[in-house]
Amino acid sequence: MKLLLLVIITLALSVLLGLAVKDDSGYVLINAYGYTAETSLLFLVVLMALLFTALYFTLRFYANIKYVPRGYKLWRSRQNSSKANETLIKGLIELSEGNWSDAEKNVVKYANQQPASLLNYLAAARAAQEQGAYERRDTYLRSAHQSTPSADIAVGLTQAELQLDQNQLEQALATLRRLQQLAPKHKRVLKNLAKLYRDLGDWNHLVELIPILRKRKVFSPERISEMEEQAFMRLLDMAVTDERLSLQDVWYRIPQPLQEKEAILCQYVNFLLETGNSNVAEPLLRNALKKNWSESLVRLYGIVDAPEPKRQLQTAESWLSSHENNATVLLTLGRLSLRNRLWGKARDYFEASIGAGSLAEAYHELGHLLEKLGEMDKAIKCYRKGLEYSPGCHYGIAQNLSAHEVEHKPRLSPPGN
């Protein structure tokens, strides 16, 4: 378009010039150094224009020659970049399709020529891992870090996740702890670290991490609460068998709202009973039941052997006003009556508990009491009933129970109530 415009302008100027000199073309005389030249003005103007044009293009040609090598390099660079991008895309497609060997070859082929070779090396590391070539994987990861030192977190996360995929838990733990030092608030680092602590059963470190997880909102509040509860329950388990841990110390580490949760409190009380610390368990259960009613805690309260059984029975009887026909309350009252040597009251409570729906445990307790009172026939019937209602008990076992199968214990004479 520019050339056409230039031709049109040139023709127009030629026409105008021809019209201007049609009647008088002018006359030019040049005398220099003894030589004389004559010509018309029009011819001189045309000649000078031609010489100027020739000189202009000659100078421009020589000026552009020195830029040829650089232009060639630029052209080659664009060609190589285009080819590298095409090969990378091909390698990523093969990586997605699971062609690990071909994918690795393609993504590293032009990695050094890519301005952002980080992606090439990370993809190559994943392809190498899928082939079991862990040394090559680590080499690619080092190259990725060297190519882009500022991407330390991205490279480290990729390394940790690849290690986790291959169940290299100890190596992944070292990688994630290093990343946590570099980026203490990075959500993805914290998320992977929390999951790894759970997999390793490192409950102490998970408990220490919980406040950070909650503050950074790494998981939903419900998920974090679930993880926290699980961690403390596992620590309580460990405290029973590991001499290096103290059950009391673990309990005092548990936040107050979590101590009142039924599952944790039941577990702790059971451990207290196993270790002979009923005096600690009774006030815990009593205070917990004042805040939140729980039949599981009521049942445990009847098992606790507190120093003041009379006061314990009075506490439990106060629950009858709002839970009169509760089978678990009646069973607990029967057990506490036994501890206070109130045989008749205990018998009444056990029978009431059976009537309210508490079967296996109440029948067993009643049978045990009747055996002590010398009422063997009734005791055997209670044992049979208890076995019938026991989970997993075969009915034939209960039917074949006879008097000689009952463990005879010294009789107690029932005092008057």
Q: Looking at residue 346, which CATH number applies to its domain?
A: 1.25.40.10
HSE at residue 177, side-chain half, CA atoms within 13 A, is 10
Q: What single-letter amino acid sits at 70?
A: R
HSE at residue 145, side-chain half, CA atoms within 13 A, is 12
HSE at residue 187, side-chain half, CA atoms within 13 A, is 7
As for how many domains the chain has, the answer is 2
The DSSP code sequence of 101-164 is: HHHHHHHHHTGGG-TTTHHHHHHHHHHHHHTT-HHHHHHHHHHHHHH-GGGHHHHHHHHHHHHH
Q: Per the domain annotation, does 224 fall within a domain?
A: no
Can you tell me whether residue 36 is helix, strand or coil?
strand
Average pLDDT over residues 50-71: 71
- Sign (positive/negative) of CA torsion 95, 97, 99, 105? negative
Q: Tell me, what's the pLDDT at 58?
A: 76
Q: Pairing between strand 28-32 and 35-39?
A: antiparallel
User: Given 3-state DSSP classes, what are the helix, strand and coil percentages for the chain, each rounded to the nearest 5?
Assistant: 75, 0, 20
Where a domain ends, among 166, 194, 209? Answer: 166
* Angle made by CA atoms 60, 65, 68, in degrees to the nearest 5: 130
Which pLDDT band, with edges at 50, 70 and 90, does 405 fall under? Answer: very low
Residue 357 lies in domain: 312-417
354 vs 389: which has the higher pLDDT = 354
Q: Tell me, what's the pLDDT at 14?
A: 65
Q: Per the domain annotation, does 64 fall within a domain?
A: no
Q: Per the domain annotation, does 5 fall within a domain?
A: no
Q: Per the domain annotation, does 300 fall within a domain?
A: no
Structure tokens at 65: 């020659």
Q: Per the domain annotation, does 139 fall within a domain?
A: yes
Where a domain ends, among 126, 144, 166? Answer: 166
b/e map of 297-313 (b: 16 or more CB within 10 Å)? bbbbbbebebeebeebb
Q: Per the domain annotation, does 208 fall within a domain?
A: no
Average pLDDT over residues 115-127: 84
Q: Determine if the pTM surpasses 0.75.
A: no
Residue 150: CATH number of its domain: 1.25.40
Where a domain ends, among 147, 166, 185? Answer: 166
Structure tokens at 351: 């029978």
Rounded CA gap, 243 and 384, in Å? 42
Q: Per the domain annotation, does 333 fall within a domain?
A: yes
pLDDT in tens, 255-296: 998 998 899 999 999 999 888 888 889 999 999 999 889 999
Q: Per the domain annotation, does 255 fall within a domain?
A: no
Which DSSP symbol is given to 27? -
